[in-house]
Structure 1
Amino acid sequence: MITAAQNEVTLDPDSFRSIAELAYRESGLTLVEEKTSMIQSRLRHRLRALKLDDFAAYCTVLNSDAGQSERRHLISALTTNVSHFFREAHHYEKLAALFDSRLSKLRAGGQMRIWSAGCSNGQEAVSAAITLAERTPEISNMNLKILATDIDQNVIRFARTARYPQRLMRGVTAEMRETYFGPPAEENGEKHYPVSQTIRQMIQFNALNLLGPWPIRTKFEVIFCRNVVIYFDAQTQERLWPRFHQVLHPDGLLFLGHSERIAEPEKFGFECIGPTTYRPLPQ
């Protein structure tokens, strides 16, 4: 039972600093004091789950040797997993154009790799797969894979189920729903739509911290990293851009979120070719 006291527990300044330092160290998240109310609201359920009386006790758990699991819950609670299908349509238009330019090579046995970095519930990766499937009925026979990663293991587990409730189907047309999703099943009073096997087999979902090692041995034609770096400070972003450059195909594209930019892109080997769209500078 949730008590009134548990609902009213506040995030004290020392605990805020401890949580902010840990979040930055673990995932590059930058927390500001102006967001204290939001942070305490998102973390109160973790105190209840652990039967803790205050945030000081919670910080003790977080910083203990046994706190690794709780640190994952912390990052999950602090990151906002809001998305919908075909968000920022201009990126999918550029993806389609790039795919069309490579279609003859793909038909001849070439490969194409796409990375959804910070994939949230998976709508971005599924949208990319549907975009390409719309271009040709041969998609299942091509060497084309989409890697979708996120630091939050909870959303990765959800994305792997490949089933979306009606409330998360925003952006999917009736025609797409008929073609790329199976018949809905009723769950808890809401329709859930399964992603078709054709689309599912194109995507691999993995948990990955962008600030940690990247077990990647290929170059990507397209990297989506949208509404992710907005959580990072400038120093963290500047460490990330060269790493993206290293794994991006020389003719590839990097897509950022609508409020994100690479400051001085030339410094990191990129040029801006459209709204939140970057490509490597010609060698």
Structure 2
Amino acid sequence: MTQSQGPGAEPNQWSGLGHLERDLILTDEDFAQIRQLIYQRAGIVLAEHKREMVYSRLAKRLRHHGLTRFSDYLARLSRQPEAREWEAFTNALTTNLTAFFREMHHFPLLAEHVRKASGPVRVWSAAASTGEEPYSIAMTLLENLGSRATEARVVATDIDTEALTRARAGVYPVEQVRKLEEERVKRFFQKGRGAHEGLARIRPEVTSLVEFLPMNLLAPQWPVKGPFDAIFCRNVMIYFDKETQARILQRFAPLLKPDGLLFAGHSENFSYISKVFRLRGQTVYTLA
């Protein structure tokens, strides 16, 4: 509620933003169908309050095709089940919130674990997004494995192909990189100049350790093979229902070494979903 203006008060120069004019038509039926399609395709559960997000993200796709109604866009998808537009649809509704060394407490645990590991170290980043997580893992391996780091590998997968393209490039705004320790910045990044001013690129010694692959965690076949010393699956399970989470955890188990570690996100708890894993520390699991 707003206060009423008294006599002589300045007229209101600003209008509310609660009811913006829409140039595209998104009906309740359209939104329900979008929720169903992204669940079937990627296992993502979209809540009712995500309607504004869905509108803003898919609006670009409708305008790209010269459409004004979401129903026409959805009909176009249904007519072409193998079209590349499905990839764009999925990319648009995928959230890519990430950072270098996010959830910092995981990386000392990874460092300690790989130092004790025998044989070539392999780590899987199962929700690689734009690359910050797998590159953070690769930096940790380089810092802790010495000459053994050349044999180490990080497999990085994500359903969002646009995010993977950015990840492979390994180029980030300098502001993102400045948050890291100065020693890491000097060792692992190259500062851009001229046309690349304000950007930083991951050095080849880091990128050479990482392989990026497109992958849907709901796909019947995964393009990754174990065994892995560790699997990072952080802040992605929160978008799945419990049944989907349990299936994915069941599939993770045979891909981990017997003493391998599974890293979860800060708001994820697998203890009540699957008996395959047991909690070892803060959002870190081992095989039960």
State whether TM-score is above 0.5: yes
* 1:162 CA displacement: 1.5
Amino acid aligned to 2:78:
N
1:132 counterpart residue number = 141
Mapped pair 1:278 → 2:285: yes
* 1:14 CA displacement: 0.8
2:69 counterpart residue number = 54
Mapped pair 1:120 → 2:135: no
Contact 1:6–1:48 (CA<8 Å) still a contact in 2? no
- In structure 2, do the counterparts of structure 1 residues 120 and 170 end up closer, same or farther at CA, with 3 Å as the change threshold? farther
Q: Secondary structure at the match of 2:79?
A: coil
Contact 1:166–1:193 (CA<8 Å) still a contact in 2? yes
1:40 and 1:187 map into 2 onto residues whose CA distance is 34
- In structure 2, do the counterparts of structure 1 residues 177 and 269 end up closer, same or farther at CA, with 3 Å as the change threshold? same
2:75 and 2:277 map into 1 onto residues whose CA distance is 43
Contact 1:129–1:202 (CA<8 Å) still a contact in 2? yes
Count of paired positions: 268
Tell me, which stretches of 5 or more residues in structure 1 are unaligned? Answer: none
Mapping for residues 212-227 of structure 1, pairs under 5 Å? 212=219, 213-227=221-235
Amino acid aligned to 2:90:
I
- In structure 2, do the counterparts of structure 1 residues 68 and 268 end up closer, same or farther at CA, with 3 Å as the change threshold? farther
Amino acid aligned to 2:140:
T
Q: Secondary structure at the match of 1:115?
A: strand
Amino acid aligned to 2:130:
N
2:162 counterpart residue number = 154
Contact 1:84–1:169 (CA<8 Å) still a contact in 2? no
- Structure of larger gyration radius: 2
Q: Secondary structure at the match of 1:35?
A: helix
Contact 1:7–1:44 (CA<8 Å) still a contact in 2? no
* 1:6 CA displacement: 8.8
Contact 1:121–1:155 (CA<8 Å) still a contact in 2? yes
Deviates more, 1:216-225 or 1:84-93: 216-225
2:244 and 2:268 map into 1 onto residues whose CA distance is 14
2:236 counterpart residue number = 228
Contact 2:141–2:149 (CA<8 Å) still a contact in 1? no
2:213 counterpart residue number = 206
Summarize deviations over 1:246-279 as a string: whole Å, max 9, x none.
Answer: 21111000011111111426x4321101111100
TM-score by length of 1: 0.89
1:187 and 1:259 map into 2 onto residues whose CA distance is 40
Contact 2:271–2:277 (CA<8 Å) still a contact in 1? no
1:240 counterpart residue number = 248
Mapped pair 1:16 → 2:38: no
Contact 2:178–2:185 (CA<8 Å) still a contact in 1? no
* 1:187 CA displacement: 4.2
- In structure 2, do the counterparts of structure 1 residues 170 and 14 end up closer, same or farther at CA, with 3 Å as the change threshold? farther
* 1:170 CA displacement: 5.6
Amino acid aligned to 2:207:
R
Instruction: Give RMSD over aligned pairs.
Output: 1.9
Summarize deviations over 1:76-119 as a string: whole Å, max 9, x none.
Answer: 111111111000111101100101212xx3xxxx2111000010
Summarize deviations over 1:112-143 as a string: whole Å, max 9, x none.
Answer: 110000101100011011112122442444x2
Q: Secondary structure at the match of 1:272?
A: strand
For residue 72 of structure 1, the aligned residue among 59, 66, 87 is 87
Q: Secondary structure at the match of 1:250?
A: strand
Give the percent of matched residue pairs that are identical in Structure 1 and Structure 2. 36
1:94 counterpart residue number = 109
1:250 and 1:53 map into 2 onto residues whose CA distance is 54
Mapping for residues 21-40 of structure 1, pairs under 5 Å? 21-40=36-55
